Amino acid sequence: MVIGIIGAMSEELEILLKEMSLEKKDIKAKMEFNYGTLWGKKVVAVVCGIGKVNAAVCAQILASEYKVDKVINVGIAGGIGENIRPGDLVIADSLVQHDMDATAFGDKRGQIPRLDTFDFKSDTKLVELAYNCSKESNEHKSFVGRIATGDEFVASVDKIRFLNKEFNAIACEMEGGSIAHVCYLNSIPFVVIRSISDNANTGAHMDFDKFKDIAVKNSTNILKNMLKLI
């Protein structure tokens, strides 16, 4: 079994690589794919870059060239739910692409035309595993719900409330939905895990340097615990 790990921050990958027994490193589509053994499991770890296209290209390379059996995506998101605070974790049980708008043709906003699903559902076993592993720390709260993805940095309170009302989303970011889309097309189980950096809905935010350390610590601990149990 080979597990693909997609990170949003290079700092997250640096910690993993120090723990990893690296067998090879490939440059594909200007991304660095690190193949080896991590905490007893074969993995390919890669930073995908920002945005849906980068994330989708990365996920498809993992599927086509490394034949990964599962994908775990960790990164940052903005909180939408009023009870979600900076430093908390959101584990996606489903993802939608909020910037897909074909309503002129009668589709619901977020629906990709002629695709047989509206949202992309995470693997239930991976969601349960991620949630249980996240609960091992009492330094943050963990939530399971829908994440909305789009090629837009959302800072507007009105837009945040729209995403919550329209999609019942509890967090928003710029990569997870496209990774989920690619995994769906390739029938690869996946889970998307996000550390919350801010919440425009409540005005809560955290200094980035402080947040970065927390996000890296949380994602590393969760990944380590998950890989031991997968």
Is residue 179 within 8 Å of 56, Cβ to Cβ?
yes
Q: Which residue is catalytic, options 11, 12, 119, 175?
A: 12
Residue 176 CB-density burial (10 A; 0-12 exposed, 13-18 middle, 19+ buried): buried
Alpha carbon distance 207, 198 (integer Å): 9
H or E element, residue 125: helix 124-134
Element (H, E) at 13: helix 10-19
- Judge residue 27's burial from the number of C-beta atoms within 10 Å of its C-beta, 0-12 exposed, 13-18 middle, 19 or more buried: exposed
Q: Any catalytic annotation for residue 198?
A: yes
The answer to whether the beta carbons of residues 66 and 45 sit under 8 Å apart is: no
CA–CA separation, 63 and 167 (whole Å):
28
Query: Which position among 88, 93, 175, 198 bears the catalytic label?
Result: 198
**Residue 25 and residue 115: Cα distance in Å, rounded?**
35
Query: How far apart (Å, rounded) are the C-alpha atoms in residues 61 and 2?
Result: 13
Active site annotation includes 12: yes
CA distances from 204 to 84, 148, 153, 163 (A): 9, 19, 16, 18
- Tokens 């992309």 correspond to what residue? 120
What tokens does 64 get? 């086509």
Question: What residues are labeled active site?
Answer: 12, 198
